[in-house]
Amino acid sequence: VTLESVKPASPATRSPVALPMQRKKRGPMLGLALLLVLIIGAAAIAFVMREHRAVPASAVSEVEVPTAAAEDDAQTSGALDINAFESAPPSEEAPPAPPPSDELVLRFSAVSWVEISDASGKRLVSRMGAPNEEIRVQGEAPFEVLFGNARSVTLEYNGKPYTNIPIDRRGVANFRLQRPREE
C-alpha cells in the first residue's frame, strides 16, 4: 500500500456520507423545535377563537381613545386618568320588553309529584311536593303539566283557581294549560 492510495479525496470527490451524519445530530432538535412552534401557534389560535366566541358583539362597547394631552398628563404623573376614557353614549333604542309572564301556584295537601314545562319546553319544576307546601312557578303559557296524586294538588293560574284538572283512574293528571282568552 502506498501513501498516495490512502490520502484523502479532494473536496470535489468527497463522499456524501459525511453530510447526513451532521444532519442526524441536528435533525431531532430541529424537528422538536418545529413541533413546539406549531403547538404554541395552534394553542394561540384556539385561545383567540374561544375568546372571540365568549364575548358577544352586543356586549362590546366603543371606547374613545384619550387625547394626546391626557396621555402626556398620565406619563408625567405616572398614572393614567380613568376619566380620560369615556364610553360611547347609550343607544337610543329601548330594549325589547320581556314577554308577559304567567304564574302558577301549587298547594299540596299530601305528597304529590309535579312536573311543569313552559311554551319553550323549559322544565320549570320537576319534584315532589310535600303536604302544606306551596310552589310558585313563572313562565310562558301554554304549560305542560303532570301531577301524580293529583287530587292532593290545588292550582292557581295568574291568581285565579283552576279547577278543570283532568284526573285519570290512577290519580294522575297530564294536561296542557292554555292562557285564557282575553275578552
Q: Give the mean pLDDT of 63-69.
A: 49
Who wins on pLDDT, 107 or 36?
107
- pLDDT, tens digit, 9 for 90 and up, residues 149-176: 999 999 999 999 999 999 999 999 999 9
Who wins on pLDDT, 67 or 157?
157
**What stretches of the chain show up as alpha helix (H) in DSSP?**
3-6, 18-54, 68-77
Per-residue confidence (pLDDT) for residue 139, from 0 to 100: 94
Asked if residue 50 lies in contact with residue 58, where contact means CB atoms within 8 angstroms, the answer is no
Phi/psi of residue 44, nearest 5 degrees: -65, -40
pTM: 0.47
Bridge partner residues of 143 (DSSP) = 177
Per-residue confidence (pLDDT) for residue 15, from 0 to 100: 52
- pLDDT, tens digit, 9 for 90 and up, residues 20-60: 555 556 667 777 777 777 788 776 666 656 655 544 444 44
